[in-house]
Every structure is written in C-alpha cells, then in structure tokens.
Structure 1
Amino acid sequence: MKGGTRNMTEFSDLWEPQADPEMWIVAAAAVLALLLVAYGPAWRVSRNIVTIAHEGGHALVALLTGRKLDGIRLHSDTSGVTVSRGRPEGAGMVLTALAGYVAPPLLGLLFAWLLELGRITLMLWFSLLLLAGMLVMIRNVFGVVSVVTTGGIIFAVSWFAPTDVQAAFAYFGASFLLLAGARPVIELQRLRAMRQAPSSDADQLSQLTGVPGLVWVFVFGLVALASLVLGGNLLIPAETFEAPSFSWTAP
C-alpha cells in the first residue's frame, strides 16, 4: 500500500497486508475511543454504533440457527430491537438472545486480529459488507439513516483517505468496539437492579435456561473483558516490546 490518496481499483488490494502504523497513531486512536466511551455526552451519540453491532449480532445468529428474521429497528435513544420467528425455546433461541451483548466486543476482537495481520483495508470493507447485509433488514427510518451514515463514513475513508488516515480510523474502530463492550453491560445491570429492564436479554436468557439473569450479565461482562485484553494485545505493534539489540566489539 503506497502513501497518499489511493483508489480501490482492484479487489486484490483487499488481501494485501499493510505495514503497522506508528505507535502514536495506535495510542491516539485508543485514547479517542476511550474518551467516547467514558464521556457521557459523547457516549450518548457513539453508543449508536454499539447498538448496530448488538442488533446485528442478534440478527446474524438468528439466521445461522435457522430462525426467520423479520426485521431490525434502531431508535434514536440508542435502543434497538430485532424480531425473529422460530421455536420460542431451544438452542437457537438461547444463542440468538446471547449474541447481542457479546457481539460488539467479539467484533472488535475480530477487527483487532485482522489489523494484527495488516489487513486494514480488508477490515474496513468487511465492515461495509456487514452493514450492507444489515441494511436489508432495517425497518425504520432512523435505522436506515444510522446504518447508511456509518457505512458512508467507512466507505469514504477506505476509498479516498491516505493510508495513515485509514490506519488510524481502523484502529479507532477496533479500539472503540473493544472498550465499549463493557459499558452497556454495566448499564444493563444498573437498570436491572432498579427493576427497569424486565425484558432484557439477560432476563430472557434466564427464562429460557433457568440460569439467573445475573449470571448471564456476568457472562456478558466476561466476554467483554476477555475480548478487551486479547484485542488490546493484538492492536499493539509487535515491535513495541522488542528488546533493544546491542553490539559490542572487543578492543
């Protein structure tokens, strides 16, 4: 991948490995992602990305387990709902309910793995493929606007931006999903403690399996934490921890 602005003229470019960005780019992307997660006003906007990944996780697993997907709705309050039909119980329903909260951190981990392999462009275009598949099933205007806007930004960066900008954007996206995986879990348990989320994913899983909802919240949090640790390790360029080499010549 050469410097400057590049156009995606050949699909073979998707498979070409790219050099790791400089450490300051990786660090800046992680700091920006952390600010968006930690700062309340920014989180209320950026949380829409997590909702897209959350509902996309429900939808993908519903299809993979043989359920019929009726549609997805994304709302301006960053909530969402995915409606599927099939057996009201059994492994397919359990996996579908489980997929929502674990999807964002696991997607971040997948992105981190692709970036560790140097597949920056592939990671961006894989994101576009996921969004395109999800767009087909969106059933409300706000959802369409959210997905199209997100996809448009990713497309513009992958098609027009210089390589350093592409790398920074890709590392920011992966870092954000990894860091943002835990906050919705904390918010979920807070709502459950105040009895304001009686139909949450954790409570649906409790009804389906007989396992207490708090245990499922713990599972969500464990997946988010494990993904953050593993993904963070993948995102740090390998040469960062290489021991310095010394040479010595006898007099």
Structure 2
Amino acid sequence: MSKWMLTVLFLIGSVFVTNLIPFSSFFRYLDTMIHEFGHAAATLLLSGKVMYIELYADHSGVTRSLITKPWSRIPVGLAGYMSASLFAWLLFALNGRSRQKEGLYTITLLAVISLVLFVRNGYGMMWLAGFIALNVVVLLWGNRVVMKWYYLVLAFLTLEESVSGALYILILAINRPGQAGDSTLLAQASGIPAPVWGAWFLLFALWCAKRALQCFFGKRRSRSRPGEREVGNAYAGYERR
C-alpha cells in the first residue's frame, strides 16, 4: 500500500478517534486561527494593512485586509490554507524532536498576538482568551505526560482540520465556484478557475500531512529500535469556510 493511501487511511481513522475526545470541537478552532493568522502575516509582509480578523462559532473565520498592490492578492490568498498545513507539519516535527513545550509556547504566542492585534469579534476574543488560559495552565502546572498528550491532541486536530478544510473548499469550488472562499478570490485575481486552486490546497495539505506522519511514526520506530538508525525522515476579505 502506498504512503499516500496510508496517509489518507490514517487521517480517516484519526478523525473517528479524536471525535471521541471530550470538547474536541473547542480545540479545532486552532486551525482556523492559524489559517487567518497566515492571511494577516502575508498581508503585513506585503505592505498591506489588516483591518480585523473574526472567528465564528461554526469553525469558520474571515480576515479583512487593505491591499494596495493587486498582484499581492495571490500570495495573501494562498497563505491561509498553506500556513495551516505547514503549521500542522511543524507541530509534528517538533514532537519528533521531543520539543512539545516549545511547540506549545509557539501556539500560545500566536494566540496572544491574534487576540491583541487582530481578532475583534466577541466570540473570537472569548475563544482566544479561554484557549490561552488553558495553555498557560498546562505549561505551568501540567506534568510531562499531561503536556505531551495535550500537545498531541492539538497536533492531530490541527492536521485533520487542515486536510478536511482543504477538501471542503475543493468540493465547494467544484459545486459553487463563486462562493468558495479563498479559491474564489484567487480565481478572481488570477483568472485560474477556483477548482484548480481548491485542488492545489488539498494536494498541498495531503503532502504536509504525509510529512507530518513521517515525523510521528519515524520517532516511534526510533524508540522501538534503539539499535537502528532511521534514515530519510526529514524535519524540515479571506475566508476559511
């Protein structure tokens, strides 16, 4: 069985398992936060202005930006889904190096920046405040085992959401290309049909998921076979609907 098929099957199984975790829906907003933060960061890097970010109760979000350079709409539009996929990979890369605490500090820092600088709707601010408080509790008072499992829950939920979000936007781009969020905006900016952008988001998300799982299982193999050396495991408005 190919690694791509194994990646898809593992993600499907992971969805069923994580849905059994109490309050898992609360933590799935992390992917939305990273998605919108990616849009905001790209806007600022390209000399634009971020007006505000809103996070909604249905796990969607929106970033309103002022962009003066028409061509910059493309990299800003790409930044949301791609940032979420890359961040999921990063979380697993850090886990593979037993750096869960650094990963949790990074997550918390991005949440604080989002709350202070960008997010302005009531629901989004309440979620960020609660999420930050919970992370601080785990960082300050959680033991090593608690921190590890808490981190893995965040990592797997972020990975699942990065792929499922990209799949949803592809389906939406095929069925309703004029209402497919980032894919629609990219189509308007580039002239390339929305389904093409949706397909790109999904392929990129699956590629990042494959690399993330290689980090995860590579670590498990290296622990179970301490006498062997592992080779080849490299670490290496915009809406989310």
| 2:158 maps to 1:177 | yes
Question: In percent, how many aligned pairs have the same letter?
Answer: 24
Q: Which one is further off, 159-168 or 194-203? A: 194-203
Structure 2 CA distance for partners of 1:55 and 1:33, relative to 1, 3 Å? farther
Secondary structure of the 2:65 match is: strand
Secondary structure of the 1:208 match is: helix
Letter of the 1:94 counterpart: I
Structure 2 CA distance for partners of 1:165 and 1:38, relative to 1, 3 Å? closer
- Partners of 2:172 and 2:180 within 8 A in 1: no
2:187 corresponds to which residue? 206
Deviation digits for residues 100-130 of structure 1, max 9, x if unmatched? 1122221111111222222111111111111
Deviation digits for residues 116-174 of structure 1, max 9, x if unmatched? 22211111111111111111211111010111112122111111111011111112222
Alignment of 1:140-159 (within 5 A): 140-159=121-140
- Partners of 2:166 and 2:201 within 8 A in 1: yes
- Partners of 2:180 and 2:194 within 8 A in 1: no
1:58 corresponds to which residue? 39
Letter of the 1:99 counterpart: A
| 2:74 maps to 1:94 | yes
Question: TM-score by structure 1 length?
Answer: 0.76
| 2:107 maps to 1:127 | yes
Deviation digits for residues 208-244 of structure 1, max 9, x if unmatched? 1122211111111111101111011112324256387
Secondary structure of the 1:190 match is: helix
| 2:58 maps to 1:74 | no
What stretches of structure 1 of length at least 5 have no aligned partner? 1-29, 246-251
Instruction: Select the structure of larger CA radius of gyration.
Output: 1
What stretches of structure 2 of length at least 5 have no aligned partner? 1-10, 229-241
Question: Aligned-residue CA RMSD in angstroms?
Answer: 2.7
Deviation digits for residues 27-80 of structure 1, max 9, x if unmatched? xxx9995337668x9776554232212111111111122111111111122221
1:242 corresponds to which residue? 225
* Alignment length (residue pairs): 214
Secondary structure of the 1:182 match is: helix
Structure 2 CA distance for partners of 1:37 and 1:219, relative to 1, 3 Å? farther
| Bigger proportion of residues as helix | 2
Question: TM-score by structure 2 length?
Answer: 0.79
